[in-house]
Amino acid sequence: MAGHDLETHARLLNAAAELFAARGFKDVTVREICAAADANVAAVNYHFGDKLGLYREVVNSAIGTMRSTTEAARQAGSGLPPAERLRAYIRVFLQRVGTDGQDSWIHRLMAREIADPTPSLDLIAEQVIAPRFDYVASVVAELLGRPSQDETVRRCTLSIQAQCHAAMPHPLASRALRLSNDPRALECLAQHIADFSLAGMFGVGEGLEARPSQVRKARVR
């Protein structure tokens, strides 16, 4: 692809990402995308086949970014005890998704997919959500000494993920919940989610009585 074509391709992707994130796949027209990208109205068909092809590439870009977040969180905890791996996961996750930066369109696009799903939602679930959930579940399973498919493990994992996702940039987080995306505030929030989750998961069932020493060791030193 020639240099000019590469530039047009990138402009179309960037413009489409913002428009799809703001209004969803159905309500955005090819003409609007091309106008926002300062491209000929035929450019979408030339580069992507059609609007759906462009949307799929936007989604694939989002998936790549989200998978890199999961991998960064995994790498940050590599070789550490399970409680510290969980802390590393939460900290890196909030650092990567808790700020309203250049990738904030991804959060809005995912909200659109949840509200008005397209066939891409299955791909997102398969390539992003399931691997991320399974990684956290493996850490929780090690902490609790239970199989990763154990219902208590799965519920604890869901609770951890829900807390992390509540901190993602959206109107509720910035207004009703009064959450800040300042790095220092996010670090404090990451510590709180980890402390709360570690204490809570050991308090479920007989966990608190069985492993009180692990609760103490898992607290912030």
For residue 198, what pLDDT band results from cuts at 50, 70 and 90? very high
* Residue ranges covered by each domain of the chain: 1-49, 61-218
Tell me the whole-structure pTM to 2 decimals.
Answer: 0.83
Q: Which of the four pLDDT bands, split at 50, 70 and 90, describes residue 208?
A: very low
Q: Please name which of 101, 99, 90, 105 lies closest in space to residue 24, comparing C-alpha atoms.
A: 105
- Determine contact, residues 84/77, Cβ cutoff 8 Å: yes
Residue 96: predicted pLDDT: 86
pLDDT at 205 over 60: no
pLDDT in tens, 6-61: 999 999 999 999 999 999 999 999 999 999 999 999 999 999 999 999 999 999 99
CATH of 1-49, one of 1.20.1050.10, 3.30.465.10, 2.60.40.10, 1.10.10.60: 1.10.10.60
